[in-house]
Amino acid sequence: MEAVRQLAASGDPEAFQALLRLSGTVGESLGISARNVAAASSWTAVAGAAGTSRQAAWSRWKA
């Protein structure tokens, strides 16, 4: 977490690019994790963890 904060505080364009790559990786990982939780439990469990409705969780992370 501290490394991310340091990248954000930097004025270096390479730090910004690193954060963009990290954002993409985290987004993809969230989808994978959501589908794994849904397979192991339910989309209701995904929704509860995300603080959203089951329909919203399924819509966002189903594919």
Only one residue has tokens 């989808």, namely 31
What's the pLDDT score for residue 53?
A: 98
Which DSSP letter does residue 4 get?
A: H
How much is the pTM?
Answer: 0.85
For 36-48, write each residue's pLDDT tens digit. 999 999 999 999 9
Question: Would you call 52 exposed, middle or buried from its count of C-beta atoms within 10 A (0-12, 13-18, 19+)?
Answer: middle
Q: Could you tell me the pLDDT band of residue 55, with boundaries at 50, 70 and 90?
A: very high
Q: Phi and psi (nearest 5°) for 53?
A: -85, 160
Q: How far is CA 44 from CA 15, 56, 59, in A?
A: 37, 10, 12
- Residue type at position 21: R
